[in-house]
Structure 1
Amino acid sequence: MPPGNPFRIFSPLNFYEFASSRFGVFPEIKAFSFRAFFKLRELVRHHRFHILHDNQCLGYGQVLWKTLGIPVVATIHHPLSIDRATWFENPSTLKQKVKRVLYYPLLMQGWVSRRMDRIVTVSRDSAREIASAFGVAPEKIRVVYNGLDSEEFAPLPGWTKKPNNLIFVGNSEDRKKGLLYLLQSLVYLPQEITLTVVDGGAPQRAFGPLLTEKYGIAHRVRFTGKIMPGDLIRHYNSAEVAVVPSLYEGFGFPAAEAMACELPVVACTAGALPEVVGDDGAGILVPPRNAKALAEAIWRLLKDPDLRRRMGRAARERVLKLFTWEKAARQMVEVYQEAIDAHG
C-alpha cells in the first residue's frame, strides 16, 4: 500500500499496477513509461535535454516522450521473445503457459521500439533478433558492445589455480543459461573435475542442486550463492576453464569477464557468444544443448596447460581490443550525435 495515504492505490496508474499484477501481468514497464513522461514534462520546463535514453522499458508512455521535441534512443539487450521461447521448452501446465504469455509484453515493446529514433543493442546477433522479432528497420539499429573494467577483471599475480576446477557464472534458475547441459557434461568427465557455480540470481535456487543429486555429482559441484565482485574475480582466477553453456546471450558478460582474467572459455555457438569469444584463439565454441561436446572441449583444455595459457592470453587481448567501457562510451556518444542531428 502507498505510505501516508493508502487511498492513493486507487489513482489510475497505481490501481492498474495492483489489479493487473493479480492476473500475472508484468505492469511495471507500462506504468513506469507513463510516470516517466509526466516527470519529464515537468522537468523540461526548467531544464534542457538534448536526448532521452531508455534502457529496455519500451512502454506505451514512451511514445509520448517524443511529443517533448527531444530525440529518444532505446537500448534493447535482446527481445524478450527469446526468454519466452526458452521458457516454453520446459514442461508446464496450461495455466503456467497462459501466465507466461501475459507476463511478456512483446506486442507493446515491438510497437514502441519501431517508433524510437534509434535502437542501441549490444551485439550484431541481438540486432538481427530485434529486427526479426520487433520489426525494427535495420538502418535504425546501432551496435555498441558492452564494456567491462579490465583493470578490475584481470589476472591476479601469484594467484594459485585450483586444479581441474571449472567455473560457471549466471542465474542457475534461468533455463537459457544452459546449466543443465554443463551438469550433464560432468558425467562424461573424470571424477576429479569439479565445478564452481557463482549464482547471483533467484534467492531460492532449486534447479541446479536437484540436478546435481539426479546425476550423482553433488560432491563435485559447489554453489557459492551471491558474492561480492572481488570474490568473483578471485573465483575466475582460481578456475582453469570458464564454461558458458548458454542457449542464448545478447552479449555474455561471464564470457568477457573470464576472458579479461586470462581464463580460456568453452562457450556455445548461441546468440552473441561467437562475437564475444571470436575465432582468434580465445576459447572453444561448441553447439548448444550438447553435453558431450561441452565435455570434449573442457577435457581438451584441462589436459593441455600450454593451450590454456595461450588461449587465456589471447582472450584478454581480445577484451582489451573490443570490450572496454572507453570504447563503448565513444560509440554511444556517436549514436547520440547521430540521433540529435537527424532530429534537426
Structure 2
Amino acid sequence: MTAEATWDAAPGPLAGEAADGDRPLRIALLTYKGNPFCGGQGVYVRHLSRELARLGHRVEVIGAQPYPVLDEEEGVTLTRLPSLDLYRQPDPFRTPGREEYRDWIDVLEVATMWTGGFPEPLTFSLRARRHLAARRGDFDIVHDNQTLGYGLLGLERLGFPLVTTIHHPITVDRKLELDAAQGWQRRMSVRRWYGFTRMQKRVARRLPTVLTVSGSSRREITEHLGVRPERVHVVPIGADTRLFSPDPAVPEVPGRIVTTSSADVPLKGLVHLVEALAKVRTEHPDAHLVVVGKRPESGPVAAAVERYGLGGCVEFVKGIGDRELVDLVRSAQVACVPSLYEGFSLPAAEAMATGTPLVATTGGAIPEVAGPDGETCLAVPPADAGALAAALGRLLGDAELRTRLGAAGRERVLRRFTWEQAARGTVEHYRTVLGDTAARRAPAPTLS
C-alpha cells in the first residue's frame, strides 16, 4: 500500500457523545488537491476537518499533493496517497523517471498529461478506492471534496456511504476560459485540459447525494451537471471568525486595496481590477493593490499591469501564514472580490469578518455572501472595470462609509457564515445519509 498514514492502528469505535448528543462519527475526508495556498478547496478541507473534530468526531483526511495543511492539534489526521505530482514547482508538466512508476495508475496519470489532459481527479479517485477497499469497517462515512472521479462509484458496495461536496461545477470555469481563448489552438487546448469535466458530469449524476455551498451553486449543479434538484443540499461555509476579526492595533494603510487571486484565469476577474486601479489612481494617487497570489509572468494580468504602468503599485504576495494574511486584510482600506463567478467566495467572507469594507461583483454566489448593495458591501456587475473603479473610489474617499460597511459585514458573517455552523450542518447531513443507507440495507419485512 502506498499510503502513508499518521497512525498505525485502524480506528476503532468511538466512545462518548458528539456535540449533537449522538454518537461520534468516523469520517474519511478525500481531497485530491488540499493545500490552502492552491485555492478554496484546501481552505475548505482544513477548516471543516478542524470543526468536525471539535464537535467530537474522528476525522482522517486522505489527500494527494499538494498535501493539506491541517490543524492536527485538534485531532485531525492525514493519510497521504502520493501521486506523481506532475505539476509541482519549479518543474510543472515534468516527465517522471522510470523508477518513479509504481503501477498502472501512474502510467495513466502521465499518459493523460502528455495528451494535454488533467488526470488528477481520475487517478486520485482510483487510488482512494483502492485504499478504502483495504480498510473496510474503518469509517462510518466518506466525504469527497469535488474529486468526482470514476473510482468513487461503488463505494457504498464496499460499505462506505458517500457524500460529495461540489463547490461549483468546473464546467463554469471551462466556459469562461473558452470565451476568453484566442485562436483555435488555444480553444482546443482548453477543451482537452477540461476533458475531465465529462467524467465529473457522469459521476455527479450517479451520486445519491451532493452537498454544495450556496443556492447559486445548487442551480449551476442541476443545470450544468444534470443532478436532480432533490439530491443537492446547501450547507454554506464561512470564515474562521476567531482568526479573521477586527484589530484596531493594526494600522490602516492609506489607499490599500487587497484581493485574493489563486490563478490568472478569467474566472477571477483580476484583469478588470487592474484596469479599475488605473482609473482610481487619477483621483486617489495613493491607491495601490496587494494581491494574495502568485505574480503572473505573462498573460492578461501581467500585460495590463505593464500597459497601465502599474508595476510600482501592484504587489503580489504568496505563501504567507494565517496571521500575516489576517493582518494584511486588516491593514487595507478596501477589500475587493472582482470575480466573474464564485460558488461561494471565501475571500469575501474573510474580509467581512475582519471588518474590512468590501467591494464585490454580483457574479455567482457572491451576493449571497456579501449581502445587499449599500448595506454590507458595494456591489458591481462582473467584468465592469468602470463600475469597480467608481465603487473603490467612493470607499477610499469616505471613511464613515467604510466604518459602517465594515461593521455590518462582520455582523453578517457572525450571524450566517462560520465554520462551526458549516460543520454542524454537514454532520446533520451525514446522519441523514447514514439513516437512509441503513433503511436501504434493512431486510424487507416477511409476511406471516
Query: C-alpha displacement at 1:201, in angstroms?
Result: 4.2
Percent of aligned pairs with the same amino acid: 39
With the length of structure 1 as denominator, give the TM-score of the two structures: 0.92
Indicate the residue corresponding to 2:305 in structure 1: 212
Query: C-alpha displacement at 1:162, in angstroms?
Result: 1.2
Which of the residues 359, 366, 370 maps onto 1:266? 359
Indicate the residue corresponding to 2:157 in structure 1: 67
Query: C-alpha displacement at 1:7, in angstroms?
Result: 6.5
Equivalent-residue separation in structure 2 for 1:147 and 1:24 (angstroms):
35
> Where do 4+ consecutive residues of structure 1 move more than 6 Å?
none
Query: C-alpha displacement at 1:14, in angstroms?
Result: 1.9
Provide the secondary structure at the position in 2 that maps to 1:198.
strand
**Amino acid of the residue matched to residue 217 of structure 2?**
S
Structure with the larger helix share: 1
**Amino acid of the residue matched to residue 357 of structure 2?**
P
Note the residue ranges of structure 2 that are not aligned, 5 or more in a row: 1-82, 85-96, 439-448
Determine if contact 1:200/1:225 at 8 Å carries over to the other structure. Answer: yes
Indicate the residue corresponding to 1:131 in structure 2: 222
Indicate the residue corresponding to 2:417 in structure 1: 323
Point out the more displaced range, 230-239 or 132-141.
Answer: 230-239
RMSD: 2.1
**Amino acid of the residue matched to residue 271 of structure 2?**
L
1:126-165 to 2 correspondences below 5 Å: 126-165=217-256
Which of the residues 162, 173, 184 maps onto 2:275? 184
Equivalent-residue separation in structure 1 for 2:410 and 2:335 (angstroms):
13
Determine if contact 2:276/2:385 at 8 Å carries over to the other structure. Answer: yes
Query: C-alpha displacement at 1:311, in angstroms?
Result: 0.6
Indicate the residue corresponding to 1:195 in structure 2: 288
Aligned residues: 340
Distance 1:87 1:206, change over 3 A: closer
Provide the secondary structure at the position in 1 that maps to 2:257.
strand
Point out the more displaced range, 324-333 or 9-18.
Answer: 9-18
Distance 1:201 1:82, change over 3 A: farther
Which of the residues 111, 115, 125 maps onto 1:19? 111
Which of the residues 206, 212, 229 maps onto 1:121? 212
Query: C-alpha displacement at 1:206, in angstroms?
Result: 5.5
Query: C-alpha displacement at 1:205, in angstroms?
Result: 6.3
Distance 1:262 1:8, change over 3 A: closer
Q: CA offsets per residue over residues 77-102 of structure 1, 9 Å max, x none?
A: 11111111111122333233222212
Provide the secondary structure at the position in 1 that maps to 2:127.
helix
Equivalent-residue separation in structure 1 for 2:150 and 2:351 (angstroms):
38
Note the residue ranges of structure 1 that are not aligned, 5 or more in a row: none
Which of the residues 83, 94, 115 maps onto 2:173? 83
**Is 1:291–2:381 an aligned residue pair?**
no
Determine if contact 2:329/2:351 at 8 Å carries over to the other structure. Answer: yes
Point out the more displaced range, 62-71 or 187-196.
Answer: 187-196
Determine if contact 1:259/1:316 at 8 Å carries over to the other structure. Answer: yes
**Amino acid of the residue matched to residue 96 of structure 1?**
R
Provide the secondary structure at the position in 2 that maps to 1:340.
helix
